Amino acid sequence: MSAASTVSAATGEITYLEAIREALFEEMARDPNVFCLGEDIGAFGGAFKVTEGLLARFGEQRVIDSPISEIALVGAAAGAAHMGMRPVVEMQFIDFLANAYDMLTNYVATARYRAFLPCPMVVRGPSGGYVRGGPFHSQNPEAGFLHTPGLKIVYPATAADAKGLMKAAIRDDDCVLFFEHKYLYRRVKDVMPDGDHVVPLGKARVAREGSDVSIVTYASTVWKSLEAAEQLAAEGISVEVLDLRTLAPMDDEAIFRTVKKTNRLLVVHEDTRTGGIAGEITARVSETCFEWLDAPVLRVTAADIPLPYAPPLEDYVLPQTSDIVRAVRRLAAY
Amino acid sequence: MARAGTTPARSKGTSKAPVRPSDALSREQKIELYYWMRLTRSLEERLVNLYRQTKVVGGLFRSLGQEADAVGSCFALEQRDVMSPLIRNLGAMLVKGATPVEVLKQYMAKGDSPTRGRELNIHFGDIGPAGSTRGFLGQISPLGDMVPVMTGVTLSFKMRGEDRVGLVYIGDGATSTGAFHEGINFAAVQKCPLVVIVENNGYAYSTPTHKQTAARQFVDKAIGYGIPGLQADGNDVLAVYDVTKQAVDHARAGHGVTLVELITYRRKGHAEHDNQSYVPPGEIERWAAENDPLDRYLVVLREQLGVTDEEISALHDRVQREIDDATDEAERSGPPVPLDALVGVYADPPAEQPLWFRRDADADAYGTERPEGWGTWNASETKP
């Protein structure tokens, strides 16, 4: 275990945040082409301290404190990546990806296709709500990028996946958007698997086995779905929870497998509803598994509302465990 | 670094006069500058013919009257350096090693064009390790974006201790973009070995420079980034070479970014379809008659280097022959195969699957149907 982490002496567990930091340390030590750039990531260690300790270990050349310039960060990462470097860009909050939307979608996502330019780079940052962050520190903007061919999207739910997927993302030969859930940063922990722990992109994980209803979800709502499954088990409803882990490429086979097993599908995500990823998953299942379905595919998502700050408002807008329980009951009744 | 005058004085005759970088160019190199400008203009004239024959699939973008700024600036780079052009820098592309046949195939959307028919016109590149590539990076259409990208290219030179310089072109219009500002600022802070050339050709599509900026001149923007600014007459190929070479040497010496403003004039519309109705009467004709970069340089070649009419004529013949050969070769190529459209969005997977309605049989498209048929039961349990 590297010096990057604060391993609990009692359990050997580290947090989701420490797992990401550990992946960054290990990959920078493994490959001199890997470097980090972002706002306040060096001396300060990042707004959430994900990059704490990197500057002291790897120096200013490889841990670059940048101006407040998301376009320049993503653009410069692309240029360096063309030349064989493997940059890891931090968005201080993932909400600011919007500032670099042109650079990501027009430049980076098309580079390999239109010009055979490699773009091995990771853009990572704290994402998501349930933290009273208000409209600009709580977003889940992944759906807009899922719509863009040429980008890969990762959104882990567990600490072990956070590390293993980050290592896979850094080693991938294309641009990976790596969403880190800030609610999970210090709330979930795992013992890291031994050795070089790499979780391949594009492979979903069955987080809980069940036989009556399937929930397909990712990131924070994996945990809410597991809570719901526990409550529903007491009612005699057996719920299978599939954690997608990677949104692009999406593990269609795993989705279809669980649908064919339970014949009832609920898609859950924290992002807003319209044009969201749940709609895309519903369409894929409808096109491919229609005859296996015993009920309509249902969605539990955030309402189509900019995320408000006050706890009663945020809690009302975001999906809660009770919403998932209610939707599963409706599906089970078919 | 001092700001250069728009037309630096000739150094000939007095020992006190400043030595111009172009004084170090050989007679042969100075004739070569004319060759690249002539090749640029003639290749575009050929493209106009092909466009009118509808053999150019998309739009056609001319650099008529701007050949000196593209050629003279790129001539200041070494082979190992990397340049990123804009749409009116065909001349810079040719100097850096792009060939007429590549350009023609791009415009004609051929299957063996540098981008296999994925991109248009001079949007193509060839970059990588020094020595193995020609060192030009294709632009994209959103203007200003190449400034941050070239910041990253030159950041990699700095991080690896490579003796390489980057040069990126933008127009007067792109100085208004956020990407320009963020890119040049980040490069300046990091002291990247980068030269940013602002080609001020008077118009961004139909928008004149006075609606683009309240700055007195574009070179004034340099001071806000804490970097040197140089300015030159963009229609004087040697003056262009001189300022760019200073900026390149500055970058190579580890002193960071320079902003260079080259003042020129766009004699054609934004693209071939543009009738330039927004241009004041007489303006284009005046520039054509009084300030054509090729005409001006021919005078220099004849009067100062003693280049003969026979030499000029032989050079014109060579250019024409090269373009004829390139056209013949490009026309022999076919269009891309449709299925190639699915290849290479990602490294892994290497190709996308055809959508089911583009496959031969529906059965290939979907997984197996539920063998037990329709219903709300589990096959292993009782059926109604």
Would you place residue A10 in the very low, low, confident or very high pLDDT band (cuts 50, 70, 90)?
A: confident
> What tokens does A309 get?
């700050």
Domains and CATH numbers, chain B: 21-332 (3.40.50.970)
Of B128, B367, B374, which has the smallest distance from its Cβ to A288's Cβ? B367
- Please state which CATH class domain A205-332 belongs to: alpha beta
Are the beta carbons of B183 and B144 closer than 8 angstroms? yes
Residues of A in contact with B374 (CB under 8 A): 291
Quote the CA–CA distance of A236 and A216 in Å, as a whole number: 20
Per-residue pLDDT, A73: 98
State pLDDT tens for residues A251-285.
999 999 999 999 999 999 999 999 999 999 999 99
DSSP conformation class of A108: I
Are the beta carbons of B147 and B180 closer than 8 angstroms? yes
> What tokens does A307 get?
């995320």
Would you place residue A125 in the very low, low, confident or very high pLDDT band (cuts 50, 70, 90)?
A: very high
Q: Which of A152, A291, A293 to mutate to test the interface with B (most CBs of B within 10 A)?
A: A291
- Residue B350 sits at the chain A interface (C-beta within 8 Å): no
Count Cα atoms within 13 angstroms, Cβ side, for A313.
11
State pLDDT tens for residues B20-38.
999 999 999 999 999 999 9
Residues of A in contact with B370 (CB under 8 A): 260, 291-292
- Percentage of chain B surpassing pLDDT 70? 89
Amino acid letter at B67?
E
- Residue B370 sits at the chain A interface (C-beta within 8 Å): yes
The answer to whether the A13-191 and A205-332 domains have the same CATH topology is: yes
Report phi then psi at A256, rounded to 5. Answer: -65, -35
Query: A123 forms bridges with which residues in the sheet?
Result: A89, A177
DSSP conformation class of B343: B
- Residue B135 sits at the chain A interface (C-beta within 8 Å): no
Q: Which of B139, B182, B340, B383 to mutate to test the interface with A (most CBs of A within 10 A)?
A: B182
How many CB pairs below 8 Å do chains A and B form together?
A: 156
Contact A67 B189 (CB under 8 A): yes
- Please state which CATH class domain A13-191 belongs to: alpha beta
Are the beta carbons of A286 and A304 closer than 8 angstroms? no
Are the beta carbons of B300 and B72 closer than 8 angstroms? no
- Residue B130 sits at the chain A interface (C-beta within 8 Å): no
Q: How far, in whole angstroms, is CA B360 from its chain's centroid? A: 42
Would you place residue B360 in the very low, low, confident or very high pLDDT band (cuts 50, 70, 90)?
A: confident
Rounded to the nearest angstrom, the minimum Cα separation between B295 and chain A is 36
Per-residue pLDDT, A9: 64
Are the beta carbons of A81 and A89 closer than 8 angstroms? no
How confident is the prediction for chain A on average, in pLDDT? 96
Per-residue pLDDT, B359: 86
Domain ranges of chain A: 13-191, 205-332
- Say which of A137, A181, A197, A269 is annotated catalytic: A137
Which segments within chain B are labelled E, that is strand? 82-84, 166-171, 194-200, 203-204, 207-208, 229-233, 258-263
Mean pLDDT of B33-60: 97
> Would you tell me how many other CB atoms lie within 10 Å of the CB of residue B380?
6
State pLDDT tens for residues B183-203.
999 999 999 999 999 999 999
Rounded to the nearest angstrom, the minimum Cα separation between A290 and chain B is 9
Are the beta carbons of A177 and A151 closer than 8 angstroms? yes
State pLDDT tens for residues B276-322.
999 999 999 999 999 999 999 999 999 999 999 999 999 999 999 99
> What tokens does A235 get?
């009612």
Rounded to the nearest angstrom, the minimum Cα separation between A311 and chain B is 36
Mean pLDDT of B351-375: 67
Contact B346 A174 (CB under 8 A): yes
Report phi then psi at B8, rounded to 5. Answer: -60, 145
Rounded to the nearest angstrom, the minimum Cα separation between A14 and chain B is 31
- Among this protein's residues, is A137 annotated catalytic? yes
DSSP conformation class of A15: E
Per-residue pLDDT, B4: 43
Contact A87 B148 (CB under 8 A): no
- Is the bond leading into B85 cis (omega within 30 degrees of zero)? no
Would you place residue B382 in the very low, low, confident or very high pLDDT band (cuts 50, 70, 90)?
A: very low
pLDDT at B174 over 50: yes
CA angle B148, B152, B155 (to 5 degrees): 130
Q: Which of A33, A89, A116, A174 to mutate to test the interface with B (most CBs of B within 10 A)?
A: A116
Per-residue pLDDT, B16: 57
Q: Using only C-alpha atoms, what is the Rg of chain B?
A: 25
Mean pLDDT of B122-141: 94
Would you place residue B15 in the very low, low, confident or very high pLDDT band (cuts 50, 70, 90)?
A: low
Of A62, A113, A291, which has the smallest distance from its Cβ to B369's Cβ? A291
